[in-house]
Structure 1
Amino acid sequence: MNNKDFISELSRRVGYSMSDTQRLVNNVISAMGDSFQDDDAVQVPNFGQFEVKKKLERIMVNPSTQQRMLVPPKLVLCFKPHAAWKERLKTSNR
């Protein structure tokens, strides 16, 4: 599902126009981004939790040259799904 399909389906479900729905989604994403900048986790009830984690500095080996390189620490965005979604995906028949 791409962005246009998502906005279309969401606007159909909530009964707003496509432009209002697009503005709403953009505002939610912007607010989430602001929270991530402040190192705050964002929990969406019955869906999951987004949080920023710090990956430590590590040594990596280039497989083709066997050269060792130092990878600097970095921040990554992680998602932990709600237990009900984990179970739902486990039992889905794909």
Structure 2
Amino acid sequence: MKKSELVALIAEKGGYTKTEANKALSTVIDAISQTLEGGEKVSLVGFGTFEVRDRAAKKSINPATKQPIEVPAKKVPAFKAGRALKDAVDKK
């Protein structure tokens, strides 16, 4: 599902215009992003938790040149699904 399709679904189910739904979705995405940038978790009970995890540095191989390279440590966003979401997905 693309963002435009999600906006249309939110508008239909919530009785909003597509403009209002798009603004609301963009606001939620921005709020989650800013919270993660600050190093905090975002927990939506029943849906899941967004958090930042540390990925360790590692050695890898460049597939084009076959030369070893160092991949630096970095922080990555992660999502862990909540029980209600897991159960809803597992029904089918």
Q: Which category describes the TM-score, using the shorter chain as reference length?
A: 0.7 to 0.9
Alpha-carbon offset, residue 86 of structure 1? 2.6
Which residue of the partner structure matches residue 61 of structure 1? Answer: 61
Alpha-carbon offset, residue 52 of structure 1? 0.7
Alpha-carbon offset, residue 74 of structure 1? 0.9
What is the rounded CA distance, in whole Å, between the counterparts of 2:27 and 2:4 in structure 1?
Answer: 16
Which residue of the partner structure matches residue 86 of structure 1? Answer: 86
Map of 1:19-30 to 2, 5 A cutoff?
A: 19-30=19-30
**C-alpha distance 60-24 of structure 1, shift in aligned 2 (>3 A):** same
Which residue of the partner structure matches residue 47 of structure 1? Answer: 47
What is the rounded CA distance, in whole Å, between the counterparts of 1:30 and 1:22 in structure 2?
Answer: 12
Can you give the 5+ residue segments of structure 2 that lack an aligned partner in the other structure? none
Provide the aligned C-alpha RMSD in A.
Answer: 1.8
What is the rounded CA distance, in whole Å, between the counterparts of 2:66 and 2:25 in structure 1?
Answer: 46
Report the AA paired with residue 42 of structure 1.
V
State the identity as a percent.
26
Deviates more, 1:52-61 or 1:21-30: 52-61
